[in-house]
Amino acid sequence: MHEAGPAALEDRALQELLALDDEGRGVSLTRLAKRLGVRVSVLIRLYTQMSDARIGDAAGPGWVRLQVDDGGQWRAFATDAARRPT
């Protein structure tokens, strides 16, 4: 389990996704959860906040796209916005 706060987990989760999704095919949330030491449900919430989803009046930054297949397997994709230098 992670020891640092939510901001540190957000940074680690985005960096892990960027490192593993270097070919744009997405990464299994199960794989990411194991690497980060958190539950898949935590990653779904976290990556949803990093997506372009609207929460209240604010849209997210659009760094991540989530997809679930017919078998219920979740994948995360790093978007071009996440790959742009800030």
Higher pLDDT, 23 or 3: 23
Confidence of residue 2 (pLDDT cuts 50, 70, 90): very low
pLDDT score at 23: 83
DSSP label at 38?
S
Q: What is the pLDDT of residues 30-83, one digit of tens each?
A: 999 999 999 999 999 999 999 999 988 988 999 999 999 999 999 999 999 998
pLDDT score at 73: 94
Burial class (CB in 10 A: 0-12, 13-18, 19+), 63: buried
pLDDT score at 84: 84
Whether 63 contacts 79, CB under 8 Å: yes
Positive or negative torsion for Cα 81, 2, 76, 34 = positive
Tell me the C-alpha distance between 6 and 57, whole Å: 22
Which domains, and CATH codes, for the chain?
Answer: 6-81 (1.10.10.10)
